[in-house]
Amino acid sequence: AQTVTQSQPEMSVQEAETVTLSCTYDTSESDYYLFWYKQPPSRQMILVIRQEAYKQQNATENRFSVNFQKAAKSFSLKISDSQLGDAAMYFCAYRSAAGGSEKLVFGKGTKLTVNP
């Protein structure tokens, strides 16, 4: 079974600075998808960024980018120019490309605090 590990329970960053959240995963599959979700205090789960394992190019969405290292099974999220609204729980998730169910396996999350 696949597992996802987020080794940083909490992180903090100063407003306007850059922060990187870590995620590692364990799988024997070669084709899969990886995601980062944001959960602000409102509790709503918001999809931040998505990466297909077969793509070597790292995904980018505005101030959010990933560093996908397939051989190392690492998938970190970089937030540039941090804003107060970035304060949230961040979850890394894995999805197999096989099987057709599109189930997600989540890490336990990293709580990000943004200091003004």
Partner 1 sequence: NAGVTQTPKFRVLKTGQSMTLLCAQDMNHEYMYWYRQDPGMGLRLIHYSVGEGTTAKGEVPDGYNVSRLKKQNFLLGLESAAPSQTSVYFCATSRGQGQYFGPGTRLTVT
Which residue lies nearer to partner 1 by CB, 15 or 61? Answer: 61
To 5 degrees, how large is the angle CA 19–CA 95–CA 69? 45
Question: What secondary structure letter does DSSP report for 98?
Answer: S
* SS3 state of residue 85: helix
Which residue lies nearer to partner 1 by CB, 60 or 115? Answer: 60
- We find the least distance from the C-beta atom of residue 18 to partner 1, in angstroms, to be 24
Question: Rule CB under 8 A: which residues touch partner 1?
Answer: 4, 9, 33, 35, 43-45, 47, 50, 91, 100-109
Tell whether the torsion through CA atoms of 50, 55, 56 and 57 is positive or negative.
negative
- We find the least distance from the C-beta atom of residue 39 to partner 1, in angstroms, to be 9
Which residue lies nearer to partner 1 by CB, 11 or 104? Answer: 104
CA distance 50 to 22: 15
